[in-house]
Amino acid sequence: MRTADTLARLGGDEFAILIKYSGNAGSGLEAEQITERILTALGGPFLIEGRRLEVGVSMGVAAVEAGPGTPTAEALLAHADVALYSAKRDGKRRATVYHPAMQLPEARDLQLREPLREAIENGDIQDVYQPVVCLDPLAVAGVECLARWSHQGTPVSPDVFIPLASRSRLLPALTTLMVGRACAQLRRWQAGRDERLQMAVKCRRAC
């Protein structure tokens, strides 16, 4: 990298690099040159305390020019994510440049990420409940709270929006919202009852 570039760790093993173009006619090559250097540098193998370790890296690149149509930082990262998924699907250990014609399942993130963020912030995630039944003797042993979300009147599967919340670092906020809803509902149900109900909250990514 150059002194004008910025390196950030987004979390886990995910990093971002902000590359500042010089403004020359051939400045578009700068990102390509830097990604090639990074791929070479991390190509390994590395010796750590006498052990040989192989490290692989996949990179997604999104370019932007200043102007009235400049995307937000979130949109730019989302473009880079789509290109990153493409790089991984093409065999990993490579860099792929984003272009609008990319048609990937992960491209739906671009449409749903911000609406999901707003839905969580505004409390527009629905809490629904299903009983946990004990068969012998037949009785309701507890209740499970499930997160449900609709975007523009269309239900979005939890298999879609919960992994999206995880990738977008929205899962803690979603969990806090659902735990609060579940505790409030449990308190209402528990009022005036001698039996103690158990409540489970399910808004995590399945393993």
> Residues 103-116: pLDDT tens digits?
555 567 778 888 99
Question: How far, CA to CA in Å, does 120 sit from each of 14, 125, 138, 144?
Answer: 24, 6, 37, 20
- Tell me which residue range forms the domain holding 179: 111-202
Per the listing, tokens 């792929």 go with 96
CA distances from 18 to 27, 32, 168, 179 (A): 14, 13, 19, 37
Residues 15 and 98 in one domain: yes
* φ, ψ of residue 10 in degrees (nearest 5): -85, -25
pLDDT above 80 (res 67): no
Among the three residues 61, 81, 103, which one is the final residue of a domain in this structure?
103
Give the mean pLDDT of 38-46.
86
Neighbours of 42 (CB within 10 A): 13
Are residues 62 and 116 located together in one domain of the fold? no
- Which of 57, 64, 59, 70 is closest to 99 using CA atoms? 64
Lowest mean pLDDT among 17-26, 44-53, 135-144, 162-171: 17-26
The DSSP element (H or E) to which 185 belongs, if any, is helix 171-190
If you search the block for the tokens 């052990």, which residue do you land on? 51
Task: Return the structure tokens found at 16.
Answer: 């971002």
Does residue 47 fall inside a structural domain? Answer: yes
Contact present, 88 and 81 (Cβ < 8 Å):
no
Q: Residues 41, 17, 107, 63: is their CA dihedral positive or negative?
A: negative
Q: What is the CATH number of the domain that holds 121?
A: 3.20.20.450
Task: Count how many domains the chain has.
Answer: 2
Q: Above pLDDT 90, what percent of the chain?
A: 24
Domain boundary among 47, 78, 103: 103
Query: Does one domain contain both 93 and 120?
Result: no
Say what the pLDDT of residue 119 is.
96
Q: What is the pLDDT of residue 104?
A: 58
